[in-house]
Amino acid sequence: MLGLEKSVSSTRVLDAEGVVVGIMPEFGLDPAELVRLYRALVLTRTFDTKAVALQRTGRLGTYASSLGQEAVSVGAAAAMEPDDVLVPNFREHGGQLWRGVTLKELFLYWGGDERGNDFAGPRQDFPICVPVGSHAPHAVGVALAFRLRGEKRAAICIIGDGATSKGDVAEALNMAGVWKVPAVFVINNNAWAISVPREKQSAAATLAQKAVAAGIPGEQVDGNDVIAVRAVTEQALARARQGLGPTLIEAVSYRLCDHTTADDASRYRDDAEVSRHWPAEPILRLRNYLTHARHWDRAKEDALLHECSNTVERAANDYLATPPQPLSANFDFVYAAKPSELVEQQKAAVLAEGTA
């Protein structure tokens, strides 16, 4: 159902019912750590729901939901050290939140305010990349900088399944392999690139095997199993830090939502297909596991939903209460020092704004 292939190794710890079917990694033996991951998934989905609602009511720009793919993002980010660098695509809100990007910053960004990218937390993380896959070489550059300075840090680049068709990604994997830079590439394979299904994106049996031509390890993981995603990413990061070079991880998930709020997936995808994928979504299985292991119950669930809802609502209100930047701010960050022609344009713009 998930399309996990036998031609490359694939990892799964929890099946869709939350039953342990693989090797539980060390962090998974600590219930508090699993609850922390669970909270991150729930918070991401709560944010997602609010963001879509804000967009539908004209209070947010076009928004790319991560519904159903939260475990890819959270799992990859949870494997990182704080001083690693995340170079994400536009659907990795969960990973960004885990890294310390605030809910308000995410709302601001998707609400059309550049200040949302001025992360107070992970200062060196890249903002999301909108042009598909063109951020993959940036991760190579970041990782190369770490290697040149002899730092034990690594870069994680998250791309979509569609991005694997791009030359930038092929180039980046190739260069990363040649230079053995400490980078990990995670594919959020959500089965759809807007309206084009995975099988029309590439004739390759798996996307993980794109690593073969770059001479780097490639593997699949159940992208709806946050424990597995974190575990394989931790292993890849450990290899990267040891100087053993990059890894390509294909996290197999499913896009339960439209591509963005500007999309209508019913034009190209049966609801029945979506319904078939709901039972495998990432939150349910971790909740089942935690419940069966007696680390979770209804009261804790209610308390968590309440807390996440309050946190997201507060951030949304904070965003909505934030006035837009003055027009003149658009001139202030084009260059470190404003050329005279820009100074003149800024003056004229401010004057025009004032008289409008």
Partner 1 sequence: MTEISLVQAVNAALARAMDEDSRVLVLGEDVGIDGGVFRATDGLLQKFGELRVLDTPIAEASIAGVSIGLAAQGLRPVAEIQFTGFAYACVDQIINHASRLRNRTRGRLTCPMVLRAPAGGGIKAIEHHSESPEAMFAHIPGIKVVMPSSPARAYGLLLSAIRDPDPVVFLEPTRLYRAAREDVADDGAGLPLDSCFTLRPGRDLTLVAWGAMIRETLEATEQLAAENVEAEVIDIATLKPLDSATILASVARTGRLVIVHEAPMTCGYGAEIAARVCSGAITSLLAPVERVAGYDTMMPYLRTEAFYMPNAARIVAAARRTMAYA
**Should residue 279 be labelled a site residue for partner 1 when binding is judged by CB under 8 A?**
no
**Should residue 53 be labelled a site residue for partner 1 when binding is judged by CB under 8 A?**
no
Comparing CB distances to partner 1, the nearer of 27 and 331 is 331
Cross-strand partners of 86: 156
Distance CA 62, CA 192 (A): 18
Comparing CB distances to partner 1, the nearer of 311 and 345 is 345
Q: Which stretch binds partner 1 (CB under 8 A): 50-58, 70-78, 233-241, 330-338?
A: 330-338
Main-chain phi, psi angles of 157, to 5 degrees:
-110, 125
Answer for which of 41, 106, 172, 308 binds partner 1 (CB under 8 A) is: 172
- String marking each residue 70-109 x if it binds partner 1 according to CB under 8 A: ---------------x-x----------------------
Reported in sequence order, the residue ranges of 167-292 that DSSP labels E, i.e. its strands, are 183-189, 192-193, 196-197, 218-222, 247-252
Two tokens, residue 71: 């475990």
Residues sharing a CB contact under 8 Å with residue 49, sequence separation 6 or more, in sequence order: none
**Should residue 232 be labelled a site residue for partner 1 when binding is judged by CB under 8 A?**
no
DSSP H or E segment with residue 159:
strand 155-160
Q: Which stretch binds partner 1 (CB under 8 A): 44-52, 274-282, 310-318, 329-337?
A: 329-337
Answer for which of 30, 83, 118, 270 binds partner 1 (CB under 8 A) is: 118
**Should residue 268 be labelled a site residue for partner 1 when binding is judged by CB under 8 A?**
no
**Should residue 31 be labelled a site residue for partner 1 when binding is judged by CB under 8 A?**
no
Q: Which stretch binds partner 1 (CB under 8 A): 24-32, 93-101, 143-151, 231-239?
A: 143-151
Distance CA 206, CA 219 (A): 9
**Should residue 304 be labelled a site residue for partner 1 when binding is judged by CB under 8 A?**
no
* Residues constituting the chain: 356
The terminus-to-terminus CA distance of the chain in angstroms comes to 58
**Should residue 141 be labelled a site residue for partner 1 when binding is judged by CB under 8 A?**
yes
User: In the chain, count of helices (H) and strands (E)?
Assistant: 13, 8
C-alpha pair distances (Å), 150 with each of 14, 140, 154, 166: 37, 15, 11, 30
Distance CA 16, CA 252 (A): 13
Which residues have a catalytic role annotated? Answer: 255, 259, 268
Answer for which of 31, 121, 279, 339 binds partner 1 (CB under 8 A) is: 339
**Should residue 162 be labelled a site residue for partner 1 when binding is judged by CB under 8 A?**
no
Side-chain-facing half-sphere of 229: CA atoms under 13 Å: 33
Two tokens, residue 19: 């039953």
Shortest distance (Å) from residue 103 CB to partner 1: 18
Shortest distance (Å) from residue 202 CB to partner 1: 19
DSSP assignment letter at 48: H
Could you tell me how many residues of this chain bind partner 1 (CB under 8 A)? Answer: 47
For residue 87, give the nearest of 46, 127, 42 by alpha carbon: 127
Shortest distance (Å) from residue 251 CB to partner 1: 22
For residue 73, give the nearest of 233, 276, 194 by alpha carbon: 233
Shortest distance (Å) from residue 107 CB to partner 1: 16
Answer for which of 135, 198, 210, 259 binds partner 1 (CB under 8 A) is: 135
* Interface residues toward partner 1, by CB under 8 A: 85, 87, 114-115, 117-119, 123-124, 126-127, 129-131, 134-146, 148, 155, 167-168, 171-172, 174-175, 178-179, 330, 333-337, 339-342
